[in-house]
Amino acid sequence: MRAMRRPLLRVVLSGFLLSTVLLPACRSAAPVATKATARRLVLVSHDGVGADLAWSWIEEGVAAEPQGLHAMVESGFAARRVRMVNPTLTAVNHISLATGAEPGTTGIVCNFFHLVDRPITEGISGFSAPIHAQTLWQAARHQGKRVGVLTWPGADGTSPDRRGDFGLIWPARPLARSKILELDPARAGHASALPSADGVEPLVWTVSLELGKAHPSKVPFTLTVVDGTDDGVPAYDTVAVTPPGADGPKILERPLWFDVATRATGPDDTRPHRWGAWCKVLRLDRLRGSVRLYRGEVYRLIGYPGSFDDRLEAAVGFWPGPPDRNGLARWWLDPAQGIDLDTFLEQLERLDRYLDRVGAWVVGNEPFDLLMAYHPNPDEYEHIGLIREKRQWAWSPGTELAAAEGLKRVGRSFDRSVASWWKVLDPERDALVIVSDHGLMPLHDTVNVNRVLANAGLVKIDTSGRRPRPAGDTPMLAYASGGCAHLYLNLAGREPGGVVQRAGAPSLLQRAARALADLDSDGEPVVEAIWNRDEAAGNGLGNPDSGDLVVFLRPGYTFSTNLSAQTAIEPSRYYGQHGYLNTHDELCGICFARGAGVPHERPDEIPATAVATLVSRWLGMSPPANAVPY
C-alpha cells in the first residue's frame, strides 16, 4: 500500500460538514393493483441472494424445482432487480423491507453503529437497536391480523413491538463453541459391544458434549471404531456412536454425521429445553484407527409464547446452528485445518431443511394471516465462498472452481426451500413472497479504519488493559460493517463526556476525510464516497445517529474496526462482502411472488421500500405508517 495525495473525492467543507457526489437509485413505476387479496401471506427473506445471481440460477437451470423460482417467474410477480437502501447491509435492509421506510426514518443506519446520546465508546447492533418506524408485523397486528415472525432480523422478542403473536428468535450465540478433537488410539478403551473382524482390536472413546454454564454442564457419549467387514483385510472401516441414554451403539452411515442432544437448563433458561449439537467424523485412519471429530456448536430452539416453543421443539428438535464459516476459512488456506467444503455445505443444507420443516409445521398447525421468515444461508456461503479473483488470499484455479460449484449447490438448496413453502400453501387462497436484502461482491482486502484514523491522530487508543480499546476522550471513533463506516466526533454537548468543541469539528472532519481519501492499495483508490450529514440525509440516511461522516469503500474492500491492527490494509480471510453503495447492480436484491392477490408482472426494478407496500396490498391491509408511497 502506497500513500498518494489526491483530491478529497470532491469533498467540500460546509459548516463543519463535508460533501460528495452520489448517483441516485432508479425507481420504476408502481405495479397495477389487483382487487383480490390473499387469505394468508408468507414473506420469506433469503439473505444475500442478489438479483443477478438468482436470475442466473433460473436461466442456467440451477433452480430446477418444479414449484421453485422458475414457477414463481412464470405465474406471478418477478422484479428484475430490487434496489436496496444504503448501506446495503442485512439489518438496515431487513428493517427497510419490513417498514417501507428509509434508514433515516427507521434509525437503523448500519449493522453496528453509535447512538449519539451515549458515550463515544458505546456501540449498538443494528439488529437490536430501537426501530423508529412501524413494521409490517406491528401494522398487521394493529389491523387485527394474526402474525408469526420466524427469526426476521429486528424481531428479537425483547418488547411487544419487536414480536409477533408467535415466533422464533435467532439464537445470538451458542451455549458452546465448535471444536475439532483428535482421538488418539493410545487413549482409547477396547471394551465394545460391536464385534471387530480380521483381528482388529476395537477402539472406544468417551467424549463429552460441553454445555458451558448449563445444567448439566456436559453430556458424555461414546464413539467406537472397528473393522466391520470380514474380508481378510485388517482395517478400521466402521464408526458407531452411543448417544446419551441409548441402549447400545448406532453404526454411522456416510457422511458420518450424528447428533448429540439432551434436556438441559441454560444460563438464561427458566426451565429445561432440548439442547444439542451436530457432530461429524471428519477423518478415520483405517490403519491406526485415529479419529478427527468435529463437535458442533450447541444450540436450542428459542420460540414464543412458551406453548408454541414446546410444540415446535417437539416437532422439529433442537436448533442445528449455522454453517461454520471460520472452519471453512481455515480449510481454504490449509486443507489439514478446519472443515472441508462438503462439510460446510452439509451444515448449510441441514439448516435449510430444518427451516423448511419449521415452515411446514407452522403452516399446518398455527393460524396466521401474515408469516415472516428468514433464511441466512446464501449470505453465509458467499461471505466465505465467493472466490473469483486472483487477489483473494485463498484463490487458485482449483478453489475458484470448487467455490463456484458450491454456490450452485447453495442455489439448489435455496430453490428447494422456495418449493417447500409453496407445497404447503393453498394457491387459491394463499400468497408466497420471496425477497432478499442484498447481493454480495468479491472481497480481497480489509481496511482497518480506526488504525487509519489513529495514524492521523484522530482516534486515541487505551493500551492499559489486556486488549487495546478506544479511550473515553478519543476525538473520534469509527463504527463499521462491511463496506460502510460511520465516523462520529466525540462532540461536547452531544456525547456524554464529549471532548470536541464545535469550533474544532470542521478541521477534524477534514483531516479524517483526507486520511481516508488518500488510502490506496497498489495505486488503486480504496474509498468510493465520503458523505457529510447533509449528503447522507439526501440519500436516505438523515438520522441523528448517522455518522458525522459516512464512508463507503470500493467493492473488493471491507472495513474492520479492530484496534489491534498495525497496518491500514491487510488481506481478508473472507471472500464476499456487501455494504457498498446501492448503485452497484450486483448488490440489488430480489422480489418474487405468486398466489392469491398477486399480479403476473415483471417490473424492471423496484425500490426496497416498495416491498412492505406490495405485501400489504396483496394481503388487503394498509401499509406500515411510515412506508414510502409506492
Average pLDDT of the residues in 614-627: 98
Q: End-to-end CA distance of the chain, in Å? A: 46
> How far does CA 599 lie from the centroid of its chain?
31
Report the pLDDT value the prediction gives residue 36, as an integer from 0 to 100.
78
Structural domain includes residue 115: no
Dmax over Cα atoms in the chain, in whole Å? 87
Cα Rg, the chain, nearest whole Å: 26
The phi and psi torsions of 587 (rounded to 5 degrees) equal -95, 0
Looking at the fold, whether 45 and 167 belong to one and the same domain comes out as yes
Looking at the fold, whether 284 and 311 belong to one and the same domain comes out as no
Structural domain includes residue 352: yes
Looking at the fold, whether 362 and 455 belong to one and the same domain comes out as no
Question: Cell 387469505 belongs to which residue?
Answer: 39
328: its cell numbers = 471453512
Query: Residue 617: pLDDT above 60?
Result: yes
pLDDT in tens, 12-37: 334 444 443 333 333 333 444 445 79
Identify the bridge partners of residue 375 per DSSP, sorted by sequence position.
Answer: 46
Query: Residue 288: pLDDT above 80?
Result: yes
In percent, the amount of the chain with pLDDT more than 90 equals 93
Average pLDDT of the residues in 493-497: 97
Would you place residue 501 in the very low, low, confident or very high pLDDT band (cuts 50, 70, 90)?
A: very high
Average pLDDT of the residues in 177-185: 97
- Other Cβ atoms closer than 10 A to 600: 12
Looking at the fold, whether 213 and 288 belong to one and the same domain comes out as yes
Query: Residue 2: pLDDT above 80?
Result: no
Report the pLDDT value the prediction gives residue 31, as an integer from 0 to 100.
41
Domain total for the chain?
3
Query: Residue 8: pLDDT above 50?
Result: no
Q: How far apart are CA 497 and CA 477, in angstroms?
A: 14
Looking at the fold, whether 547 and 466 belong to one and the same domain comes out as yes
pLDDT in tens, 422-468: 999 999 999 999 999 999 999 999 999 999 999 999 999 999 989 99
Q: How far apart are CA 392 and CA 443, in angstroms?
A: 7
Per the prediction, the chain carries an average pLDDT of: 94
Structural domain includes residue 474: yes
Q: How far apart are CA 388 and CA 271, in angstroms?
A: 48
Closest CA to 118 of 552, 450, 479: 479
Looking at the fold, whether 398 and 424 belong to one and the same domain comes out as yes
Give the residue from 299, 317, 339 where a domain finishes.
Answer: 299
- Dihedral (CA of 458, 462, 463, 469) sign: negative
Structural domain includes residue 87: yes
Looking at the fold, whether 231 and 295 belong to one and the same domain comes out as yes
pLDDT in tens, 31-79: 444 457 999 999 999 999 999 999 999 999 999 999 999 999 999 999 9
223: its cell numbers = 464413539
pLDDT in tens, 77-127: 999 999 999 999 999 999 999 999 999 999 999 999 999 999 999 999 999
3-state secondary structure at position 391: coil
Looking at the fold, whether 287 and 348 belong to one and the same domain comes out as no
The whole domain housing 192 covers: 176-299
Q: Please write down the long-range contacts of 226-231, taking CB distance under 8 Å and 24 or more positions apart.
A: 226/192, 226/194, 226/195, 226/196, 226/197, 226/200, 226/202, 227/196, 227/197, 227/198, 227/200, 228/194, 228/196, 228/197, 229/197, 229/198, 230/197, 230/198, 231/197, 231/198
**Are 617 and 33 within 8 A, CB to CB?**
yes
Would you place residue 339 in the very low, low, confident or very high pLDDT band (cuts 50, 70, 90)?
A: very high
Report cis status (omega within 30 of 0) of the bond before 216.
yes
Give the residue from 299, 314, 343 where a domain finishes.
Answer: 299
Report the pLDDT value the prediction gives residue 244, as an integer from 0 to 100.
86
Residue ranges of E strands in 47-121 = 77-78, 81-83, 112-113
Average pLDDT of the residues in 503-514: 98
Looking at the fold, whether 535 and 618 belong to one and the same domain comes out as no
Report the pLDDT value the prediction gives residue 15, as an integer from 0 to 100.
41
Structural domain includes residue 121: no
| CATH (domain of 146) | 3.40.720.10
Query: Residue 193: pLDDT above 70?
Result: yes
Report the pLDDT value the prediction gives residue 247, as an integer from 0 to 100.
87
**Are 13 and 506 within 8 A, CB to CB?**
yes
Looking at the fold, whether 449 and 589 belong to one and the same domain comes out as no
Q: How far apart are CA 182 and CA 337, in angstroms?
A: 12
Looking at the fold, whether 211 and 351 belong to one and the same domain comes out as no
User: pTM, whole model, 2 decimals?
Assistant: 0.93
Query: Residue 205: pLDDT above 70?
Result: yes
Average pLDDT of the residues in 359-363: 98
Question: Cell 438468482 belongs to which residue?
Answer: 54
In percent, the amount of the chain with pLDDT more than 70 equals 94
Strands 605-607, 81-83: parallel, antiparallel or unpaired by DSSP?
parallel
Looking at the fold, whether 555 and 593 belong to one and the same domain comes out as no
* HEC-encoded secondary structure of 178-222: CEEEEECHHHCECCCCCCCCCCCCCEEEEEEEECCCCECCEEEEE
Query: Residue 527: pLDDT above 90?
Result: yes
Query: Residue 361: pLDDT above 90?
Result: yes
The phi and psi torsions of 172 (rounded to 5 degrees) equal -65, -35
627: its cell numbers = 412506508
| CATH (domain of 519) | 3.30.1360.180
Query: Residue 393: pLDDT above 80?
Result: yes
Q: How far apart are CA 249 and CA 241, in angstroms?
A: 5
175: its cell numbers = 451455549
Query: Residue 10: pLDDT above 60?
Result: no
**Are 126 and 108 within 8 A, CB to CB?**
yes
Structural domain includes residue 120: no
Structural domain includes residue 1: no
pLDDT in tens, 577-615: 999 999 999 999 999 999 999 999 999 999 999 999 999
Give the residue from 244, 279, 299 where a domain finishes.
Answer: 299
Closest CA to 275 of 214, 366, 330: 214
Structural domain includes residue 117: no
Report the pLDDT value the prediction gives residue 287, as an integer from 0 to 100.
97
- Dihedral (CA of 382, 153, 88, 56) sign: positive
Report the pLDDT value the prediction gives residue 5, as an integer from 0 to 100.
39
386: its cell numbers = 465467493
| C-alpha distances out from residue 615 to 97, 410, 578, 609, Å | 10, 26, 25, 11
Q: How far apart are CA 69 and CA 78, in angstroms?
A: 9
**Are 248 and 232 within 8 A, CB to CB?**
no
Closest CA to 443 of 583, 590, 569, 589: 569
